[in-house]
Amino acid sequence: MSLRKVKNLTRYKACLVLLASMGVSSAPLLDRVQATERQDTSDSSLVELPTLNLTTDSELTTDDELTAAARTLPLTTKQPTTKQPTTKQIEPSTDAERAIVQGINFIRQGEILSAISAFETAVQLEPGSAAAQYNLGLALRQNEQLQAAANAFWLAAQADPDFALAYVNLGAALLEGDNLEQANTYLSRAIEIEPEMGLAHYNIGLLRQRQGDVAAAFEAFSRAITYSPSAPESHYQIGLIYQAQGEHTQARRAFQNAIDIDFNYPAAHYNLGVSFIRQNSPETAIIAFGRATELQPTFGHAHYALGLALADLARYEEAKIRLQTASNVYIAKGDAQWANIAQQQIARIENLQSGF
């Protein structure tokens, strides 16, 4: 299993969501990775906003730009079947299962390296355990060891050819590694095994976006919503598609759907605000941008956009404060380009205040 362009991967940040120490929880492991802006920064307009979207450019400089990336499911101590897994706790009966339980406990305590060691022990004790390989893959991916994670997921799938989650995670890891052809193969296999697995359709949507097939991406995200209605990310991605096409009423509806599912979704609030700006509603946009900054104070683009929206309403002093905050965030992130852009906007506002 080969990952291409691994050296250019975005910084992977994930949070394991575990509702039970045994079995696979229905709560997803979400990874909202940073994405670069797509806009012409030479435009001097005070209302020019960066738009967060999926991009093939992985040379990123900031941590506050959120978009969706491949999603995976939590750990398991039992080999999952193709049916909906249960969260019922089962007493481990083998040393390998006990090692998996120990690894899950380490994950809960934030001790990723210890978890990896425990899962490796489980693999050594029972090399043919799909659950051991799968959990090892998740822990390795959490630790940004993407190639090793892909290998573990592949071994899990070899141990259990009907293990749909292993194929989803393998495809997701390959997608993160920009290996689109193999990602397509394994994500498609997951859907063959479980046609109604929303997680697989969501990742297929991301893949189709990377391939430039927007219509197919939209269809995949729509299927993901049908099969996983409680996951906000597909609504968010559909909103981005509508936004890119200039259909801002539909984009707003999609972003709001994502927010209704998960209010603590800064990027959804931010892009909701962008769509309001595109529809000449700066007052409403200010609310959305403000919520994004409240949820994530280091969200530089949200502070920047809020500053521009305030300036558009001639609320210049408030605008300068927000733009200075954005500049400070950019500087802290080492993003001199955007820090300079924010300072330029402050200078333009001061010129407006001076009558120039």
Write the pLDDT tens digit of every residue in 339-352: 999 999 999 999 98
Say what the pLDDT of residue 92 is.
73
Phi, psi of 178 (to 5 degrees): 65, 25
Mean pLDDT of the chain: 79
One-letter amino acid for residue 145 of the chain: Q
Say what the pLDDT of residue 93 is.
78
pLDDT band for position 2 (50/70/90)? very low
The CA distance from 342 to 269, in Å, is 21
Tokens 């906003």 correspond to what residue?
Answer: 49
Quick check: helix, strand or coil at residue 30?
strand
Q: State mean pLDDT over 159-184.
A: 93
H helices within the chain, ranges in order? Answer: 95-108, 112-125, 130-142, 146-159, 164-176, 180-193, 198-210, 214-227, 233-244, 248-261, 266-278, 282-295, 300-312, 316-332, 336-354
What is the tens place of the pLDDT at every residue in 208-258?
999 999 999 999 999 999 999 999 999 999 999 999 999 999 999 999 999
Per-residue CA distances from 224 to 54, 192, 237, 246 (Å): 17, 15, 11, 23
User: Is the backbone of residue 280 left (phi > 0), alpha (psi -120 to 50) or beta?
Assistant: left
186, two tokens = 């394994």
The CA distance from 342 to 287, in Å, is 20
Say what the pLDDT of residue 354 is.
87
How many CA atoms are closer than 13 Å to the CA of 238, on its beta-carbon side? 24
Say what the pLDDT of residue 1 is.
52
Q: State mean pLDDT over 163-189.
A: 93
% of the chain with per-residue pLDDT over 70 = 74
181-210 burial: b if 16+ Cβ within 10 Å, else e: ebbbebbebbbebbeebbbbbbbbbbbbbb
How many CA atoms are closer than 13 Å to the CA of 310, on its beta-carbon side? 21
Say what the pLDDT of residue 85 is.
36
pTM of the model: 0.75
% of the chain with per-residue pLDDT over 90 = 70
Q: State mean pLDDT over 116-125.
A: 96
The CA distance from 52 to 129, in Å, is 40
Q: What is the DSSP letter of 28?
A: -
Contact of 207 with 175, CB cutoff 8 Å: yes
Given a cut of 90, whether residue 119 has pLDDT beyond it is yes
Given a cut of 70, whether residue 61 has pLDDT beyond it is no
Residues 6+ apart with CB under 8 A from 2: 147, 179, 182
Contact of 207 with 200, CB cutoff 8 Å: no
Given a cut of 90, whether residue 201 has pLDDT beyond it is yes
Say what the pLDDT of residue 49 is.
52
Tokens 């990123």 correspond to what residue?
Answer: 60
Residues 6+ apart with CB under 8 A from 42: none
Element (H, E) at 49: none
Q: Which domains does the chain have, with CATH numbers?
A: 36-61+266-356 (1.25.40.10)
Q: State mean pLDDT over 101-122.
A: 94
Q: State mean pLDDT over 105-120.
A: 94
